[in-house]
Amino acid sequence: MTTSAKITDRHLCRQAYVYIRQSTMGQVRFHQESTERQYNLLSKAGLLGWRPDQIRTLDRDLGQSGATTTNREDFKVLVGDVAMGRVGAIFCLEASRLARSNQDWHRLLELCAITGTLVIDEDGCYDPAEFNDSLILGMKGTFAQAELHIIRARLHGGKLNKAAKGELRFPLPVGFVFENDKIVLDPDVEVQGAVRTVFDLFTREGTAFAVVRGFNELGLQFPRRAYGGAWDGKLLWGRLTHSRVLGILANPSYAGMYVFGRYQSAKEVGPSGDIRTRLRLMPQDAWRVAIPDHHEGYITADQFVANRQRLTANRTNGEGLASPVREGLCLLQGLLLCGACGHRITVRYTGNGGIYPVYQCGWRRREALASCACLSVPAAPLDETITVRLVSAVTPVTIELALAALTNLEQRDREIGAQWRMRIERARYEAELAERRYETVDPANRLIAATLETRWNDAMQRLHDLEAELAAFERKAMRAVTAEQKRQILELAKDFPRLWVAASTTPRDRKRILRLLVRDITVVKGPEPKIIRLHIRWQGGQTETLQLSLPRDRADVVRYPEAFVQRVRELALHHHDDEIVALLRGEGHRSSTGKPLTVGTIKWLRYKHRIPAPRPSKGILNVRQVQERYGVSLYVVHYWIERGVVSAAHHKPNAPYVIPIDDELDQRLRTWVANSAHLHRSPTPIV
């Protein structure tokens, strides 16, 4: 059946869609013949009977890949309008222009078969509702997807083959350039100095944040290479960021290694159900190509591995130790391991204002394996024990350490000064270049001469500003070490304990010194509650065990010993509280806090340990006992006291009445109670 025979009035009364697509913007820009052929389909639609107002062009997908529907807005419009029955025919150059995916292609064909939409390309007209046409269109879609796979396989195979020889070109990190198809160090000495300074600072400080802070404090700048635009391939100098430092430390190119496949693409399903392609950072054993010693590097391979390990150890959210030096007064922060569970011991500050640090391991409680912490010990005793051991271990080698530190300090000053001088040299070159341009211009051309003169003045001003900054920096930080200062440093090195406790030595400095000698310390509870064992593992591999006794808790300190309580119990049998205080003071006893004993202290001890008051003598009663003995009310007892019927006295102020009762008084009171008809007697009988 011919093309015109398949096109009916039902198709001509609908719209004709011309779908135009190129895979990349480079094809749109440089392969314009293909784009022109697709636009020529507009005239073909007119020749087949569609009016110009019925022909719609879909060209917003130029520069988008046909592998998925992501970012292909016009393809989504096409599918939607076909489903609504608005499209009579779809014009495309070939099946691969509509879709490279069989899933998208067959979905479109199914909708076209239901709504009676034709598919027209350069080879002919197809009706998806007919079996033969549907079979041909399905095969064309399969060939389009297979073609995409073949193209990708050829390109990727060529890249892998070239990468295996170390010849595949890719954007180089700052500090490297291509020279005759070889990777060499950047000939700009200032660029090399900036990169080397990053690695030197990281070796000295140990963290990426410290490298950024050191760069900013030293007033240095770091280059970055621009890609695209007017500044393509040029170096731009600016502030060093934390992400740049991490990228430099993790890039094996700086160790002279050629690597291909550090990042690999992987497909995943997005939140809306669409398929996305993302780049993943692969582990070192999954790199496709790794050629060591491929080119000259800034560091060695061993140093690169050490830097990666240090970055991994710096993570505080992972297992193991947090080795970098951080703020805080606790000396052993980040070095302690729990002997019970093997996890890292953290620091907790207690007390009002958090002034009492405690080393605590809460892993078991955090994992709901126990109701309390594995270990909780005060920080001060452990810090003091390790300090004493460290001072005794370091003292014989302090002079050598001082000389090495002094040499490193002078070397660092020379490197920083050289970096500043190269920066000024670059500014001086720019000023001289602006001067030469100004001198070569025709003086009669005043407009150009004025502009060049302004640029020259600006370049000279930048040079003067940099020189002033360098002078200020040298006065502030670049302190020259004289022979007298060297002698003083060596003298101080002989007294390491005094240096350790000096006010000028910060807690961070002490922690750095400790980490140079100690790898980790395992804390284990001893057989007794207040005994702690410290298993020290030194950096050289040797191990050592220290045992210390923790100080008693405050409650144990202020608690009275059992012997003292027993002495109070004995005295309370026959003496009152004031008498007990006098006797104990005479024996030389004091309170648990070292203060003189008081009556309140004895009262508290009797209440705490349930020590009764001294028993009264025979015939000596108090008001309550008199009431119970004679079966009268308290008012009657106090009436007797006021009228002098009974004699009562206070042993001491505010103490209960002491009432002596002999046989004669007892008989008289019984007779008085028995003969009195006005008393409200208690139901208790008189014994």
Contacts of residue 180, Cβ cutoff 8 Å, sequence gap at least 6: none
Residue 521 resides in a domain: yes
* Average pLDDT score, the chain: 80
Provide the CATH number for the domain around residue 26: 3.40.50.1390
Residue pair 423/466 in contact (Cβ under 8 Å)? The answer is yes
Q: How far, in Å, CA of 474 to CA of 147, rounded?
A: 65
Residue 290 resides in a domain: no
- For residue 395, what pLDDT band results from cuts at 50, 70 and 90? low
Percentage of the chain exceeding pLDDT 70: 85
Among the residue ranges 14-23, 48-57, 85-94, 143-152, the one predicted with the least confidence is 143-152
Q: How much is the pLDDT for 254?
A: 93
DSSP bridge pairs for 137: none
Contacts of residue 682, Cβ cutoff 8 Å, sequence gap at least 6: 627, 631, 632, 633
Mean pLDDT of 454-481: 72
**DSSP, res 344:** B
For 167-197, how does the pLDDT look when each residue is reduced to its tens digit (9 = 90+)? Answer: 888 888 888 988 888 888 988 888 888 899 9
Domain end: 109, 136, 161, which one?
Answer: 161
Strand order across the beta sheet in which 649-650 lies:
620-621, 657-660, 649-650
Q: Is the pLDDT of residue 539 over 60?
A: yes
Q: Is the pLDDT of residue 677 over 80?
A: no
Q: How far, in Å, CA of 130 to CA of 128, rounded?
A: 5
Residue pair 411/478 in contact (Cβ under 8 Å)? The answer is no
Percentage of the chain exceeding pLDDT 90: 5
Mean pLDDT of 308-317: 77
Residue, of 368 and 169, whose pLDDT is higher: 169
Q: Are residues 461 and 542 in the same domain?
A: yes
Q: How much is the pLDDT for 687?
A: 39
Q: How far, in Å, CA of 660 to CA of 574, rounded?
A: 17
Cβ neighbour number for residue 306 with a 10 Å cutoff = 13
Q: How far, in Å, CA of 406 to CA of 481, rounded?
A: 9
Domain end: 525, 551, 577, which one?
Answer: 551
Among 4, 23, 101, 676, the active-site one is 23
Tokens read off for 246: 């991490």
Q: Are residues 525 and 574 in the same domain?
A: no
**Per mean pLDDT, which of 193-197, 480-484, 516-520, 666-670 is the most reliable?**
193-197
Specify the long-range contacts of residues 593-600, CB closer than 8 Å, at least 24 apart. 593/558
Q: How much is the pLDDT for 625?
A: 80
Q: Are residues 570 and 520 in the same domain?
A: no
Q: Is the pLDDT of residue 634 over 60?
A: yes
Q: How much is the pLDDT for 17?
A: 92
Residue pair 245/199 in contact (Cβ under 8 Å)? The answer is no
Q: Are residues 581 and 458 in the same domain?
A: no
Residue pair 231/267 in contact (Cβ under 8 Å)? The answer is no
Q: Are residues 513 and 641 in the same domain?
A: no
Q: How far, in Å, CA of 300 to CA of 124, rounded?
A: 64
**Helix pair angle (623-630, 634-643), 10° resolution:** 110
Contacts of residue 503, Cβ cutoff 8 Å, sequence gap at least 6: none
Helix-, strand-, coil-residue percentages of the chain, each rounded to 5: 50, 15, 35
Q: Is the pLDDT of residue 408 over 80?
A: no
Q: How much is the pLDDT for 686?
A: 41
Q: Are residues 90 and 133 in the same domain?
A: yes
Q: How far, in Å, CA of 341 to CA of 338, rounded?
A: 6
**DSSP, res 332:** T
Q: Is the pLDDT of residue 407 over 70?
A: no
Q: Are residues 436 and 582 in the same domain?
A: no
Among the residue ranges 4-8, 48-52, 219-223, 619-623, the one predicted with the least confidence is 619-623
Q: Which position has the token pair 């004025």?
A: 450
3-state secondary structure 107-145: HHHHHHHHHCCEEECCCCEECCCCHHHHHHHHHHHHHHH
- For residue 643, what pLDDT band results from cuts at 50, 70 and 90? confident
Mean pLDDT of 60-84: 85
Residue, of 317 and 531, whose pLDDT is higher: 531
Q: Is the pLDDT of residue 596 over 70?
A: yes
Mean pLDDT of 258-273: 78
Q: Is the pLDDT of residue 43 over 80?
A: yes
Q: Are residues 579 and 499 in the same domain?
A: no
Q: How much is the pLDDT for 34?
A: 84
What is the per-residue DSSP string for 509-558? HHHHHHHHHEEEEEEEE-SSTTEEEEEEEETTS-EEEEEEEPPPPHHHHH
Q: Are residues 452 and 577 in the same domain?
A: no
Nearest alpha carbon to residue 576 among 655, 664, 678, 463: 655
Mean pLDDT of 253-259: 91
Cβ neighbour number for residue 460 with a 10 Å cutoff = 17
Residue, of 152 and 321, whose pLDDT is higher: 152
Nearest alpha carbon to residue 221 among 462, 508, 435, 431: 462
Residue 66 resides in a domain: yes
- For residue 490, what pLDDT band results from cuts at 50, 70 and 90? low
**DSSP, res 677:** S
Is 23 catalytic? The answer is yes
Q: Is the pLDDT of residue 100 over 60?
A: yes
Q: Is the pLDDT of residue 378 over 50?
A: yes
Q: How far, in Å, CA of 117 to CA of 109, rounded?
A: 9
Q: Which position has the token pair 């959210």?
A: 317
Q: How far, in Å, CA of 431 to CA of 422, rounded?
A: 14
Alpha-helix residue ranges (DSSP H) falling in 441-477: 446-476
Q: Are residues 468 and 593 in the same domain?
A: no
Query: Residue 106 sits in which domain range?
Result: 3-161
Q: Tell me the CA distances in angstroms from 343 to 323, 364, 515, one per residue in order.
A: 14, 9, 19
Residue pair 602/580 in contact (Cβ under 8 Å)? The answer is yes
Chain mean position to CA 411: 33
Residue 219 resides in a domain: no
Specify the long-range contacts of residues 396-403, CB closer than 8 Å, at least 24 apart. 398/493, 398/494, 398/496, 399/490, 399/493, 399/494, 401/493, 402/489, 402/490, 402/492, 402/493, 403/490
Q: Are residues 373 and 485 in the same domain?
A: yes
Q: Is the pLDDT of residue 136 over 80?
A: yes
Contacts of residue 673, Cβ cutoff 8 Å, sequence gap at least 6: 630, 631, 632, 679, 681, 686
Q: How much is the pLDDT for 680?
A: 47
Among the residue ranges 52-66, 541-555, 565-579, 614-628, the one predicted with the least confidence is 614-628
The one-letter amino acid code at 657 reads Y
Q: How far, in Å, CA of 653 to CA of 670, rounded?
A: 30
Among the residue ranges 106-110, 249-253, 471-475, 519-523, the one predicted with the least confidence is 471-475
Q: Tell me the CA distances in angstroms from 295 to 180, 184, 307, 397, one per residue in order.
A: 13, 7, 20, 39
Residue pair 251/297 in contact (Cβ under 8 Å)? The answer is no
Residue 393 resides in a domain: yes
The one-letter amino acid code at 573 reads L
Domain end: 161, 193, 226, which one?
Answer: 161
Q: Tell me the CA distances in angstroms from 355 to 242, 349, 376, 442, one per residue in order.
A: 32, 6, 16, 75
- For residue 593, what pLDDT band results from cuts at 50, 70 and 90? confident
Q: How far, in Å, CA of 606 to CA of 567, rounded?
A: 11
Among the residue ranges 270-284, 312-326, 622-636, the one predicted with the least confidence is 312-326
- With H, G, I as helix, E, B as strand and everything else as coil, classify residue 417: helix
What is the per-residue DSSP string for 284-317? GGG-SEEETTSS--SS-HHHHHHHHHHHHHT-SS
Q: How much is the pLDDT for 542?
A: 82
DSSP strand pairing (649-650 vs 657-660): antiparallel
Mean pLDDT of 55-73: 84
Q: Which position has the token pair 């309140």?
A: 600
Q: How much is the pLDDT for 483?
A: 62
Residue 455 resides in a domain: yes
Q: How much is the pLDDT for 403?
A: 55
Residue 139 resides in a domain: yes
Chain mean position to CA 371: 28
Residue 214 resides in a domain: no
Number of domains present in the structure of the chain: 4
**DSSP, res 561:** P
What is the per-residue DSSP string for 380-403? HHHHHHHHHHHHHHHGGGHHHHHH
- For residue 318, what pLDDT band results from cuts at 50, 70 and 90? low
Mean pLDDT of 342-369: 78
Cβ neighbour number for residue 488 with a 10 Å cutoff = 12
Q: How much is the pLDDT for 682?
A: 46
Q: Is the pLDDT of residue 393 over 70?
A: yes
Q: Are residues 641 and 670 in the same domain?
A: yes
DSSP bridge pairs for 535: 522, 545
In the chain, how many H helices and how many E strands? Answer: 27, 23
Mean pLDDT of 542-569: 83
Mean pLDDT of 577-584: 83
For 211-226, how does the pLDDT look when each residue is reduced to its tens digit (9 = 90+)? Answer: 888 888 888 889 888 8
